[in-house]
């Protein structure tokens, strides 16, 4: 589904991603963790071209990410993204947030788009909030709307960037539950998260990044109980 080969990225002089190699197969669930500033967000933002890489290859379902707008459009279609700060449109209702891209990007008729939105809002158990504005919802509810909004575009791959780290503790579970369900339904997922319980239960692989590099990757059991690198051990000792 996703292949990165020798991917490098710089912000000006700052070398933020260093020789990243990563392959994600269909249905695989990958958790990425690592210290703040290690390049996790940059890495997943490169996968749907919210950031541009300068060296190496990124392929999403065999479409190479290049400057070709057609390729970028194809990839954006396949890849859904959920951000730490929800990024909902504040002036649109929950329902409108979920229908906007369907109507304008996919040219789906409004009625159909609304039916799809209600189906997915029901799936994240928030259908009764459809007429409200994001500001009237709790953080956990807003994040579930953001997930539903992404799913409305029928993505093949979902990218999550610390989806629970802006949430109050009591709301983390309601968002993780939705993510676990998605994982169980076979969605290909790449999640930046420090929720190690989530990593243990659903991840096929855990990747540890530091200073723009993949330092270590393993199945969760090995990763948590027998980390190889000193940097991974230090990181785990700080978060567990």
Applying CB under 6 A, the residues found at the interface with ligand ADP are 11, 14, 16, 34, 36-42
Q: What gap in Å lies between CA 199 and CA 208, rounded to an integer?
A: 12
Q: How far is the CB of 182 from Mg ion (least distance, A)?
A: 21
Q: Which is nearer to Mg ion, 37 or 64 (CB)?
A: 37
Evaluate the CA torsion angle 217, 222, 225, 226 in order and state its sign: negative
Single out the segment in contact with Mg ion by CB under 5 A; choices: 14-22, 35-43, 171-179, 219-227: 35-43
Q: Does 193 bind Mg ion (CB under 5 A)?
A: no
36 binds, among Mg ion, ligand ADP, none (CB under 5 to 8 A by kind): ligand ADP
Half-sphere exposure of 13 (CA within 13 A, CB side): 0
What lies within 8 Å, CB to CB, of 149 at 6+ separation is 88, 97, 98, 101, 120
Q: Does 41 bind Mg ion (CB under 5 A)?
A: yes
Bridge partner residues of 64 (DSSP)? 59
CB contact burial 80-97 (16+ within 10 A = b; e otherwise): bbbbbebebeeeebbbbb
> Residue 198 is inside which H or E element, if any?
helix 196-202
Q: Does 129 bind Mg ion (CB under 5 A)?
A: no
Q: Which is nearer to ligand ADP, 62 or 238 (CB)?
A: 238
Q: How far is the CB of 168 from ligand ADP (least distance, A)?
A: 21
27 binds, among ligand ADP, Mg ion, none (CB under 5 to 8 A by kind): none
User: Which residues contact Mg ion by CB under 5 A?
Assistant: 41
């Amino acid at each position: 589904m996703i292949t990165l080969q020798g991917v490098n990225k710089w912000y000006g002089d700052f070398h933020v991603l260093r020789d990243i190699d990563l392959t994600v197969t269909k249905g695989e669930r990958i958790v990425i963790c690592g210290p703040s500033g290690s390049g996790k967000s940059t890495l997943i933002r490169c996968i749907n071209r919210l950031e541009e890489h300068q060296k190496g290859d990124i392929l999403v379902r065999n479409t190479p990410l290049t400057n070709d707008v057609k390729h970028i459009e194809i990839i954006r279609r396949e890849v859904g993204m959920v951000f730490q700060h929800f990024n909902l449109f504040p002036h649109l209702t929950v329902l409108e947030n979920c229908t906007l891209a369907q109507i304008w990007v996919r040219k789906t008729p409004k009625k159909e788009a609304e039916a799809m939105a209600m189906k997915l809002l029901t799936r994240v158990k928030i259908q009764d909030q459809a007429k409200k504005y994001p500001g009237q919802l709790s953080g956990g509810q807003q994040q579930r709307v953001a997930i539903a909004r992404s799913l409305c575009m029928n993505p093949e791959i979902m990218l999550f960037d610390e989806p629970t780290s802006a949430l109050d503790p009591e709301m983390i579970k309601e968002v993780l539950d939705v993510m676990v369900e998605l994982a169980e339904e076979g969605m290909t997922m790449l999640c930046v998260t420090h929720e190690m319980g989530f990593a243990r239960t659903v991840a096929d692989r855990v990747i540890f990044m530091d200073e723009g590099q993949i330092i270590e990757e393993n199945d969760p059991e090995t990763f948590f109980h027998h980390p190889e690198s000193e940097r991974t051990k230090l990181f785990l000792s700080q978060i567990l």
